[in-house]
Structure 1
């Protein structure tokens, strides 16, 4: 799918030459171990780099130049996967093939260099006024989760399930750590990111491979590095309190449940566990949706998600507070039904089809191709839709029962309104 070319020690370039798109897409990913401190620093850093640099010292000037490049899109962001934190820079620009007598690509490559290697500094560090402004922006982003009760409930469940571990650390960091950031400490984090992080560079589009490699080596002069190894599995705590109830000013109750499994991303049984989750609550035909929401009308919504890097399965539902016990009992019943083999051929086949179609749809965009390849590239076998479709096809009802039997309930979190408590 992508051809991988060593760029420097600890830095890899992945290229996909394709006529599928009329744009050229770049994605640069800097990776290191996930901690609340590093996530906080790096999220503020992405905001600082996003809005200005040495050539374009205001957001307006920077955005205006991007507009002049036929609406080129450039943005920084942060994410997490397993025990790793990622700073990413994504760029999408028009392909020069579709322009007359203009080379946008060369300007975009210059801009890549500027945005990464020529930040907007004052006395050798980031400008204090910009750092303080972006700290407040990120703090507001984190605190806004309080107003989205579904997201808040999920954050609380993760904190209860795996306290102070990557599973419960936000990719945005924490308010406490963000407040500690200074222009000096942020510049140190920036220098460390450029010099020490593991880096993956992606290019997808109708490009000349040799030409783009040569140009990127000029635009992105990353040096050799020996990135710190991030362990795939860390020692895990288990919740001290396995049933937590909290009150907020709100109407709809949020019942969030955490289950654990020994099967993680890349394990031999990974495909089987994906099928289990799809039948349990991953899709509209799943047991949670059909039985808890549709048949019994106990939930406004009910679904499950498989956090495969942590070996966790989350069930999320919105319910009336008076239905707390009944809804929890019915959710548990769906797992028991699967453990005892109550799985129809239709549920199995629909889940396989949904997983395959989902994967195909994600590959319809260059960004989707980059993200899928980035996720699967470290597995032993080469990635292809056909290979994964065949893995899912091979999963039997007995396999799903086997997966269901080793899923363990770990914690329940219920968030409800104060007026509901009085009922």
Structure 2
């Protein structure tokens, strides 16, 4: 039997267990071996839980899992940075395969953990960490084998996309949509990781590092979230033919990389404009392919659990390379300098040349470099890049 341990039994952990039970028999038939989730690691194993454990033993000490030679795979779904890092590192050190959705841990320790997995000849898979239920990591690794990836752009937060879509379609104020998204489980009680853009930046750091075959840090990525955007901004831009999205972008030219996460007003011709609600979408551009697009569910229990089960099957059937997918290129990070027209709302006049005055507090600038705009934008002002 191949034993599996599940760390964390919250929203994602329970989703993993539900899907595992549904697929278990089918996987066993194809594999020709018994598989089971034997342990569930929780903080307090004595706490009463009105949920099905499917025969798994609740434990609160990772040592029991690490010392059990029948446990070959750890599925890490804690969502905790400190604990997640400890569990992943110790499991890899004990030559256990690891599957995780913990993008915060990966963003901080991707290179270290990838090297450790390669050294121990085990898998470290993290499809669920970036695209939720939308496959991205595996296709990206395949694309990079057949040509150089020059740029990528996408919507990497199903939560932010849900908020912005609701504000536009139903004309609901930001705070009301935020509360609704929390109740639906798309946002945490403290949603700043999502709406502040930090979660998206972590995902872009992982994707860009894999795509460009060299290390890109979180701090290399310019960041602006959606917290300042109001209903009036969404409505004005929609009347002008645009839909607002939180867009992650990274470009590479001659080993120079520019990367950013910021709100953009996208025209109807843009692929990302068509992606609504809690969906994600990404475009890759490369040498030997013009453009490859992906779209899929980006938030929720089962999309994330589905991606983790997909990784589990890859481990069980040895469908992936164990070598580290990271490259060793020396990349030169420069400020994001791409020029665009900007929708600006500010109580204070700005120094930028104005193409169109909407009212006394709102105008459209002539094309200006992103880094120049950020340095000179008045405090409290809203700036949304206008896509062409």
- TM-score tier by shorter-chain length is under 0.3
TM-score between the two structures when normalised by the length of structure 1: 0.23
TM (norm. structure 2) is 0.25
Which protein, 1 or 2, shows the higher relative CO under an 8 Å CA cutoff with sep ≥ 6?
Answer: 1
- The structure with the largest helix share of the pair is 1
Larger Rg: 1
